[in-house]
Amino acid sequence: MELSEIISFSKKNGFVFPSSEIYGGFSSCYDFGPLGVELKRNIKNYWWQKMFQRNNMAGLDSAILMNPAVWQASGHLTSGFADELVECKKCHHRFRKDHIKGECPDCKGKLTSPQQFNLMMKTFVGPVEDKTAQTFLRAETCQGIYLNFQNVLQSTRKKVPFGIAQIGKSFRNEITPKNFIFRTREFEQMEMQWFCHPKEAEKFFDFWLQQRLDWYKELGIKDLRTVEIPEKERAHYAKKQVDIEYKFPFGWKELEGIHYRGDWDLSNHAKHSKKDLRYHDQERKEKYFPHIIETSVGVERLFFTILCSSLKEVEGGRSEKSKKEKEIVLKINKKLAPFKAAVFPLVKNKDKVVKKAKEVFQLLNNFSVYYDETGSIGKRYRRADQVGVFWTITIDFDSLEDNTVTIRNRDTMEQKRVKIKDLKECFTKEFLLTD
Ligand code: GAP
């Protein structure tokens, strides 16, 4: 699907709305609607469970605002975290140098020579807006993990190798945010930092890269490739970097980064804070800075990837037999689907069928399910398919006699009869996040 179609689908169906729309919007800021918020939460929950499953992992939720010294130590306030900015002398639009070729794309004006532009978002803490009160919104969540490395070690008594996982907001003053929610100034990251002995770093790099690729395969995301980033283009902290790229409507772009950060973070924070952040390895009888393997993906970027890879246009007549125009089906992984099921009474003007359908809906209250009795059954199927509902459950006259319902599968369109008393168990088995 084209990017413009994905954007209008997202708005129409309550996935993503432009922020501050009634005031004309606000550049590159978006709000997540009723279905978007469900999808986002499902992505985060699934990632979290996957990270912890069979891995020695601890969780963290650190603050967005930190002592500005953190960003000095991490290298984010120096040229390591800056893009080259150029300005068109004619129309005065500003661009990232690596995002344009040759002349200014709007008006063919000449460009100024590049200037370094730091991406950290500044803010002030307290009532006085001077240099001493200045700090930054975090640009990556992982710095909070390094600062708490010793706290987590002490409170959990974990031993290296182990990981710390965190999900939270990050902010970057991107020069050219673009392509819908692909690159924004405010976004969420799901980051995992794996602390290991330096000699094991290579092994764990390969392990985590494979884990992440396996997860995307499980989610049904195809069109992925891995690209090893050459030294000149790597992030300032990375000794090795492999990007997992997806083929977006505007080309191959980074979805997730796997970084071997060595001891860059712990040794720099130790130096700047004058605290000993080394790990005392009782088994090896060594004291050292654990090396770090990082996996880092943006929630919104993955959200967008999932929409791109799941939205399918299919031949008409699939749900509404009489209609010939194309139908949209969101063939999203069932565990991520905003709604797992929809409950329909076959007819809406028969009290007993409606009453039974409402009872079934109540029974499934704890799952993400909605009730719909408006329009023909075909229209209701069509609406459900469009937003990725995995099961549609229909209550008909037979249900009144034998206490069964029909479950229709979104992808195969197969229908099966299931006893109402077994429904809860079916749901638990079908939609369990990890097993
Ligand atoms: N801690 C490492 C780190 O932040 P990164 O490659 O700068 O590495 C990791 O970012 C991931 O965060 C990217 O692969 C992308 O999914 C997401 N991301 C980064 N900048 C983003 C932006 N401006 N908008 C949306 N997502 C972004």
Atom of ligand 1 nearest to the CA of 183: 24
CA distance 134 to 341: 49
How far is the centre of ligand 1, averaged over its atoms, from the C-alpha of 86 (Å)?
Answer: 22
Tokens 């699939």 correspond to what residue?
A: 318
The pick from 180, 187, 243 for probing ligand 1's pocket by mutation, whose C-beta has the most ligand atoms within 8 angstroms, reads: 187
Atom of ligand 1 nearest to the CA of 254: 14
Helix ranges (DSSP H) in 321-413: 351-363, 377-386, 397-402
Which residue type is seen at 42?
A: N
What's residue 410's pLDDT?
Answer: 97
CA distance 296 to 305: 15
The pick from 236, 254, 292, 294 for probing ligand 1's pocket by mutation, whose C-beta has the most ligand atoms within 8 angstroms, reads: 254
Report the 10 Å Cβ neighbour count for 290: 24
Atom 25, ligand 1: which residue's CA is nearest? 183
Looking at the DSSP bridge assignments, the partners of residue 95 are 86
Half-sphere exposure of 286 (CA within 13 A, CB side): 9
CA distance 173 to 16: 21
Of 98, 69, 73, 70, the C-alpha closest to 83 is 98
How far is the centre of ligand 1, averaged over its atoms, from the C-alpha of 425 (Å)?
Answer: 39
Regions of the chain where pLDDT drops below 50? none
Atom 1, ligand 1: which residue's CA is nearest? 140
What's residue 318's pLDDT?
Answer: 78
CA distance 16 to 330: 15
Of 342, 333, 386, the C-alpha closest to 360 is 342
Atom 27, ligand 1: which residue's CA is nearest? 298
pLDDT tens-place string over residues 316-330: 877 777 677 889 999
Atom 15, ligand 1: which residue's CA is nearest? 298
Enumerate residues 6+ apart whose C-beta is below 8 A from 331: 220, 310, 311, 312, 388, 410, 411
What's residue 402's pLDDT?
Answer: 97
Three-class SS state of 377:
helix
Three-class SS state of 117:
strand
CA distance 85 to 94: 7
What's residue 102's pLDDT?
Answer: 58
Whether 321 contacts 372, CB under 8 Å = no
Strands in 94-96's sheet, in edge-to-edge order, are 94-96, 82-87, 115-118
Enumerate residues 6+ apart whose C-beta is below 8 A from 21: none
Locate 422 and state its tokens. Answer: 């077994």
Helix ranges (DSSP H) in 173-323: 201-219, 264-273, 299-310
Reported pTM: 0.94
Whether 321 contacts 231, CB under 8 Å = no
Q: What share of the chain is helix, strand, coil (3-state, %, to 5)?
A: 35, 30, 35
Phi first, then psi: give them for residue 63, nearest 5 degrees. Answer: -75, 150
What's residue 345's pLDDT?
Answer: 97
Q: 34-59 burial by CB neighbour count: b if 16+ within 10 A, else e?
A: ebbebbbebbeebbbebbbeebebbe
How far is the centre of ligand 1, averaged over its atoms, from the C-alpha of 143 (Å)?
Answer: 14
| Euclidean distance between the first and the last CA atom of the chain, given in angstroms as a whole number | 33
CA distance 171 to 44: 18
Which residue type is seen at 239?
A: K
What's residue 147's pLDDT?
Answer: 98
pLDDT tens-place string over residues 81-121: 888 888 888 888 888 888 776 557 678 788 888 888 899 99
What's residue 241's pLDDT?
Answer: 98
The pick from 62, 146, 189, 294 for probing ligand 1's pocket by mutation, whose C-beta has the most ligand atoms within 8 angstroms, reads: 189
Atom 6, ligand 1: which residue's CA is nearest? 257
How far is the centre of ligand 1, averaged over its atoms, from the C-alpha of 189 (Å)?
Answer: 7
What's residue 83's pLDDT?
Answer: 82
What's residue 103's pLDDT?
Answer: 54
How far is the centre of ligand 1, averaged over its atoms, from the C-alpha of 265 (Å)?
Answer: 17
Whether 424 contacts 364, CB under 8 Å = yes
Give the binding-site residues of ligand 1, using a 6 Å CB cut-off: 140, 142, 172, 174, 183-184, 187, 189, 191, 254-257, 294, 296-298, 300-301
CA distance 283 to 200: 15
Whether 56 contacts 163, CB under 8 Å = yes
CA distance 146 to 158: 15
Atom 20, ligand 1: which residue's CA is nearest? 183
What's residue 38's pLDDT?
Answer: 98
Atom 5, ligand 1: which residue's CA is nearest? 257
